[in-house]
Structure 1
């Protein structure tokens, strides 16, 4: 089984969902500072995620859904996924972001399954808390190993594509490690580096 694993924010999607939510909620400056430190590897992902989500406390869930239903995707995202499907890859998306965004992305881009985090809410209002499957720096690697076991996919048959520090763990499980318009810490761990914002440039590296 051939397996393609994508990060979502700033890889498939053009930008960071948390930044867009913060803009809609008036907490953009605080979130951008934390995001920059986290994606550059200067802050633990779990800590930074909790701090960023805390700034969204009080935001209506309807506004979250509105933002997520209008996300913009990077050039070549849909085309690359279609090419991977034609080559019999199973396509999985991991996101340290949120189910609302990644679920909206699945409808547009057509990947097979996704794993992400969940914004907690009560009575239609965000509580400022978050939980889920992608809470830690090691989460993507752990989940990659589980999916490889389930699908009988190997290190050699896996390609992983990401842009930030929390994508390093999934690179350990993939022969092809693609840093897409990535932070320096991920480029150092990659064996394929794409610096132009066009995901279809990855197609020439497929087997």
Structure 2
């Protein structure tokens, strides 16, 4: 799991410090990991249809996640390596993280996806904090179940607030970016909330909308605030 380690240097009253928190699937990366796992299981269309409805806010996200994960029962855990190798960072994602760090900001990700993929993406990008779900694996095989608490829309919001508090950053200086209905609470709570190439419900709820698939355009919005 991603280590959440905070040093004394993280805590600062400087007004130009910010915390940027974003979703992973279809935001940090171009793909939806659960859909790719479904493809590897030969049930891609079935899984993708559930994902789409959940992200539009038409299905309860928790129930939809459990339903999709259950369909993966019996898959060899090596499929996670295959899916990770197929992931692509969204255009501008790595530059966004680099630029944030150059400015002395921190970056976190909150994902309804899985630590087994997210942790590797976080390491690749040099992201500071991570919250995600964990798949249950027994004897090298996916059991079709999750381990621990499920990452919900409230979990995402809590992570944003928790990291900001621990870093001594006012919520007014936070940025939240996401595309799905489960990102809405954190988008609305952040100082700058951005719907990124998002579902209609998310765009309608967000203070800011970015429909160009380039995460560096986030700064066009943030720097105007």
Q: Give your verdict on TM over 0.5.
A: yes
Unaligned runs of 5+ in 1: none
CA distance in 1, matches of 2:128, 2:212: 26
1:93 to 109, 117, 128: 109
Counterpart for residue 95 of structure 2:
79
Q: Secondary structure at the match of 1:73?
A: coil
Q: Deviations over 1:134-170 (max 9, x none)?
A: 5323211122222222112212110001000010121
Matches within 5 A, 1:83-162: 83-132=99-148, 134-162=150-178
Runs of 4+ in structure 1 off by over 6 angstroms are none
- Say if 2:70 is the partner of 1:47: no
1:132 deviation in Å? Answer: 4.2
| Bigger radius of gyration | 2
Counterpart for residue 195 of structure 1:
211
1:131 deviation in Å? Answer: 3.4
- Say if 2:36 is the partner of 1:23: no
Counterpart for residue 173 of structure 1:
189
Q: Which moved more, 1:92-101 or 1:103-112?
A: 103-112
Q: CA RMSD in A?
A: 1.4
Number of equivalences: 207
Q: Secondary structure at the match of 2:120?
A: helix
Unaligned runs of 5+ in 2: 1-16
